[in-house]
């Protein structure tokens, strides 16, 4: 029954995205991927359907989300491009409303603040560094969180530290108040993201997830 649902994926051509796509395929999910450059995408599977388009384009997101039952986004800001995070969230929520979807799992850095945080000195320092050096990107991520919080869908915003692009190994520390280490393996992260599809623990929450 679980394998019957189709997942819409944003950012699936990115570094974390590829780990996620492989994980979803290995679990037998059908997936729809929104890609700006499909010709550069290497993973081949009969379970993959590709939609060409940009996450800031509401019509492209509608094409992506149609016929899916859940959405996962690993979209990340590219330098010098228009801000993507809050616009992508708005587009996804609009499409989810149109097609009656409930589950949306998205990603952010540990710099996003929520009212439930009790960030350690180290996490606070990393947050301040982002605010100082990438103020617009930080503000856009914060806006994306506000939009999600105000929405009525079953969202989870997974907050992570520095990602190492390695296969799953070791254990994960998941915490709602602080990030418990300064890195995470992309393989472990992909497992956590995909697990959220059928886990209600973090619905409407923003867990910090890190490797220990
Ligand atoms: N890397 C880290 O250490 C780190 C740390 C904390 C949080 N994060 C967050 O974790 C997530 C994944 O990170 P990552 O490093 O794996 O990302 P990444 O490799 O930079 O990939 C980003 C993906 O987003 C896509 N994208 C960006 N703008 C887009 C747009 N307008 N329309 C469609 N696709 C767009 C890119 O597609 P194109 O190839 O077409 O550009 C790419 O597939 C991101 O949200 C990132 O902010 C990363």
Q: Give, using CA atoms, the residue closest to atom 41 of ligand 1.
A: 78
Mean pLDDT for 54-62 is 98
Q: Give, using CA atoms, the residue closest to atom 15 of ligand 1.
A: 15
Compute the distance from residue 74 Cα to the ligand 1 centre, in Å: 6
Place of tokens 């394998």: 3
Place of tokens 């949306």: 104
Q: Give, using CA atoms, the residue closest to atom 20 of ligand 1.
A: 76
Compute the distance from residue 87 Cα to the ligand 1 centre, in Å: 14
Q: Which of 20, 55, 59, 76 to mutate to test the pocket of ligand 1 (most atoms within 8 A of CB)?
A: 76
Share of the chain above pLDDT 70, in %: 99
Compute the distance from residue 62 Cα to the ligand 1 centre, in Å: 20
Let me know how many helices (H) and strands (E) the chain has, helices first.
6, 10
Compute the distance from residue 76 Cα to the ligand 1 centre, in Å: 3
- DSSP reduced 3-state for 19: helix
- Written as one string, the DSSP assignment of 59-76 is HHHHHHHTT-SEEEE---
Query: What is the Cα–Cα distance from 148 to 158, expressed in whole angstroms?
Result: 12
pLDDT digits 0-9 by tens, 92-118: 999 999 999 999 999 999 999 999 999
- Written as one string, the DSSP assignment of 141-184 is HHHHHHHHHHS-SEEEEEEESEEE-----S-EEEESS---SSEE
Q: Give, using CA atoms, the residue closest to atom 45 of ligand 1.
A: 76
Compute the distance from residue 1 Cα to the ligand 1 centre, in Å: 31
Compute the distance from residue 151 Cα to the ligand 1 centre, in Å: 23
- DSSP reduced 3-state for 191: helix
Q: Give, using CA atoms, the residue closest to atom 21 of ligand 1.
A: 14
140: which 2 tokens? 């856009």
Report whether pLDDT(3) > 90: no
Mean pLDDT for all residues in the chain: 97
Compute the distance from residue 13 Cα to the ligand 1 centre, in Å: 8
The pLDDT, as a whole number, for residue 1 is: 42
The pLDDT, as a whole number, for residue 58 is: 98
Task: Return the ∠ at Cα 124 (arms to 123 and 130), rounded to 5°.
Answer: 95
97: which 2 tokens? 């409303």
DSSP category for residue 134: S
What global pTM score does this model have? 0.98
Query: What is the Cα–Cα distance from 94 to 138, expressed in whole angstroms?
Result: 23
pLDDT digits 0-9 by tens, 189-207: 999 999 999 999 999 999 9
Pocket of ligand 1 (CB under 6 A): 11, 13-17, 36-37, 54-56, 74-76, 78, 84, 107, 109, 160, 162-163
| Confidence band for 4, pLDDT divided at 50, 70 and 90 | confident
What Å distances lie between residue 164 and 35, 133, 190, CA to CA?
23, 22, 12
């Amino acid at each position: 029954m679980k394998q019957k649902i189709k997942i819409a994926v944003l950012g699936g051509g990115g570094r974390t995205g590829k780990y996620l796509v492989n994980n979803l395929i290995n679990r037998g999910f059908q997936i729809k991927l929104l890609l700006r450059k499909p010709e550069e995408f290497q993973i081949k599977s009969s379970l993959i359907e590709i939609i060409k388009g940009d996450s800031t384009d509401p019509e492209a997101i509608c094409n992506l989300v149609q016929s899916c039952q859940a959405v996962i986004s690993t979209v990340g800001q590219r330098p010098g491009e228009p801000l993507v995070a809050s616009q992508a969230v708005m587009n996804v929520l609009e499409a989810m409303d149109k097609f009656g979807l409930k589950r949306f799992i998205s990603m952010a850095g540990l710099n996003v603040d929520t009212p439930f945080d009790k960030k350690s000195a180290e996490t606070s320092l990393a947050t301040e560094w982002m605010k100082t050096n990438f103020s617009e990107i930080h503000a856009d991520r914060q806006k994306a969180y506000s939009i999600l919080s105000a929405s009525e869908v079953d969202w989870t915003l997974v907050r992570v530290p520095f990602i190492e692009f390695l296969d799953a190994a070791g254990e994960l520390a998941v915490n709602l108040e602080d990030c418990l280490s300064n890195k995470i393996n992309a393989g472990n992260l992909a497992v956590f993201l995909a697990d959220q599809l059928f886990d209600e623990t973090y619905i409407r929450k923003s867990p910090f997830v890190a490797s220990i």
